[in-house]
């Protein structure tokens, strides 16, 4: 196989631990092939010309990093507008939050064209191109239009909704047609693959050639589930580090007389935060033995704050947390500690390990890596319990977690109570199965399976 070229909206320097498991895993593959990582620089040029941006090249070991600046107008239409104001909500089944402003798609297309143009000049004939996520769906089609014949794969990190939800996007046929410019399209879960197959079966003239093969628009496409994992060893190493140990000791100390529950995410309406807080409130009401004891640490890192729906969510959360603390709190006990900041990655394993229960209850999630990180961080002798939404992609693999419907407040509260009461033996047994599972299907397995499938497809 030739050089690997990874394209994603944001790129990360794979040598920095702050970047996380995905960057490390992709970085390793790039190192091995002496590859190229291409994406937006993160810089917005006020008064810049739409469709134009400077290209920056930088060497990081054997990996070349190539980034492009965006003009304000491009950033607002491609990134905030179409990617995060249309595709993100619709793909998470939230048609009510989508803003189908016609100007956004023009910017989305323009930036994909510009990226394709800049990238085409850097490609070598035997490169293998791996494009990531919803920001870049039409990239391969633009590259093909410029004559690029390299093997190209696409991985969608977020869910693909059922056909009739997808069809609400005015440009849905263009988006799916664009996917046929790739040779391989990867989804997080079998549910996503089945939505794709149903969409293609009902909305396009495609022939289904086999379980994972579709032919339409003069092109054959393979579409399959590749559930993403974490780098378990990297996470264990972080857990053994000083920062994580300190975090653990500090939490254990401070909460020695309490039961700790933890939630960690980006502040996003897909993560089910208000529903979770309501379930926690119900827990305190229905099972008063938790009063003065159960403490939920909810970390919600700021995210996409200039998109309107996010500001409304923040207000709702702050008022819910305030009401729970006001109604149930005591001078020496606050039921919810809500923190609107991110936690340093090096400290995360210590926080997870100090918790008796993790609440990972998104309304929809492509995969959800926090669920897997929580399992990796536990002490196998005395592990915490994972309460996981059945609507996270991770639920397909992690059936030994306690699965919940986050919309069902009463049953979720009941399940949290069950998690808090679970006997040691059952906790150990469930943890052992979950750990073996996330180890077997880790981020390296994910990357190798995707790239092997892509390599197995005959070059176009």
State the DSSP H helix or E strand holding residue 300, giving kind and residue range, or none if neither. Answer: strand 294-301
Q: How far apart are CA 359 and CA 346, in angstroms?
A: 20
Residue 336's Cα: distance from chain center in Å? 25
- The residue (of 314 and 418) whose beta carbon lies closer to ligand ADQ is 314
Nearer CB in complex with ligand ADQ: 206/297: 297
Alpha helices for 180-307 (secondary structure H): 190-203, 232-240, 242-254, 273-286
**Can you list the alpha helix ranges (DSSP code H) found in 273-347?**
273-286, 308-328
* Residue 460 CB, nearest approach to ligand ADQ (Å): 27
Task: Name the minimum Å distance from CB 411 to ligand ADQ.
Answer: 23
Count CB-CB contacts under 10 A for residue 183: 24
Q: Which is nearer to ligand ADQ, 220 or 453 (CB)?
A: 453
Q: Can you tell me the distance from the alpha carbon of 216 to that of 6, in angstroms, rounded to the nearest whole number?
A: 26
Residue 102: CB minimum distance to ligand ADQ, A: 26
* Shortest reach from residue 159's CB to ligand ADQ, in Å: 8
233 labelled catalytic = no
Q: Which residue, 291 or 301, is less far from ligand ADQ as judged by CB?
A: 301
Question: Interface residues with ligand ADQ (CB under 6 A)?
Answer: 20, 157-158, 228, 264-266, 299, 301, 342-343, 348, 365-370, 373
Q: Are the C-beta atoms of 353 and 377 separated by less than 8 Å?
A: yes
CA atoms within 13 A on the CB side of 266: 10
157 is catalytic: yes
Shortest distance, position 344 Cβ to ligand ADQ, whole Å: 7
Q: Are 183 and 460 in contact (CB under 8 A)?
A: yes
CA–CA distance, 194 with 200 (Å, rounded to integer): 10
**Which helix (H) or strand (E) segment is 84 a member of?**
none
Which residue lies nearer to ligand ADQ by CB, 271 or 281? 271
Which of 75, 365, 442, 444 is flagged as catalytic?
A: 365
Instruction: In angstroms, give the least distance from the CB of 401 to ligand ADQ.
Output: 14
Q: Are 279 and 273 in contact (CB under 8 A)?
A: no
Residue placing its CB nearer to ligand ADQ in the complex, 148 or 299 = 299
Residue 204 CA: distances (Å) to CA of 176, 177, 217, 398: 9, 8, 9, 34
Residue for token digits 């229905």?
286
End-to-end CA separation in angstroms for the chain: 14
Q: Which of 92, 135, 157, 431 is catalytic?
A: 157
User: Would you name the residues annotated as active-site residues?
Assistant: 157, 365
């Amino acid at each position: 196989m030739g050089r690997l070229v990874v394209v994603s909206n944001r790129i990360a320097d794979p040598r920095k631990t702050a970047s996380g498991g995905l960057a490390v895993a992709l970085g390793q593959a790039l190192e091995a092939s002496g590859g190229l990582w291409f994406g937006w620089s993160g810089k917005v040029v006020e008064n810049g010309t739409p469709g134009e941006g400077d290209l920056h090249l930088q060497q990081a070991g054997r990996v070349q990093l190539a980034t492009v600046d965006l003009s304000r107008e491009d950033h607002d239409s491609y990134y905030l507008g179409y990617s995060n104001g249309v595709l993100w909500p619709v793909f998470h089944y939230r048609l009510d939050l989508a803003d189908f402003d016609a100007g956004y798609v023009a910017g989305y297309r323009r930036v994909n064209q510009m990226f394709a143009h800049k990238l085409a000049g850097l490609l070598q004939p035997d490169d293998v191109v791996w494009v990531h996520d919803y920001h870049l769906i039409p990239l391969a089609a633009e590259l093909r239009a410029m004559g690029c014949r390299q093997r190209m794969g696409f991985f969608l990190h977020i869910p693909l909704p059922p056909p009739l939800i997808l069809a609400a996007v005015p440009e849905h046929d263009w988006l799916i047609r664009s996917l046929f410019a790739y040779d391989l399209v990867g989804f997080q879960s079998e549910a996503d693959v089945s939505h794709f197959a149903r969409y293609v079966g009902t909305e396009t003239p495609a022939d289904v050639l086999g379980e994972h093969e579709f032919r339409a628009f003069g092109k054959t496409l393979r579409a399959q589930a590749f559930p993403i994992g974490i780098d378990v060893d990297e996470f264990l190493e972080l857990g053994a580090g000083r920062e994580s140990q300190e975090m653990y000791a500090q939490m254990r100390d401070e909460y020695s007389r309490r039961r700790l529950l933890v939630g960690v995410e980006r502040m996003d309406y897909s993560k089910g935060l208000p529903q979770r807080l309501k379930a926690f409130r119900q827990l305190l009401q229905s099972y008063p033995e938790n009063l003065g004891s159960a403490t939920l640490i909810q970390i919600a890192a700021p995210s996409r704050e200039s998109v309107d729906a996010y500001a409304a969510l923040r207000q709702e959360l702050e008022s819910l947390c305030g009401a729970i603390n006001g109604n149930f709190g005591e001078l020496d006990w606050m039921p919810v500690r809500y923190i609107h900041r991110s936690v340093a990655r090096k400290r995360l394993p210590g926080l997870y390990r100090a918790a008796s229960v993790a609440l990972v209850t998104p309304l929809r999630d492509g995969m959800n890596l926090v669920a897997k990180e929580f399992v990796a961080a536990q002490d196998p002798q005395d592990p915490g319990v994972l309460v996981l939404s059945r609507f996270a992609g991770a639920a397909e693999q992690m059936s030994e977690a306690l699965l919940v419907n986050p919309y069902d407040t009463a049953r979720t509260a009941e399940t949290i109570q069950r998690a808090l009461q679970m006997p040691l033996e059952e906790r150990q047994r469930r943890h052992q199965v979950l750990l073996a599972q996330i180890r077997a299907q880790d981020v390296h397995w994910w990357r190798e399976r995707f790239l092997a499938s892509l390599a197995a497809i005959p070059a176009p």
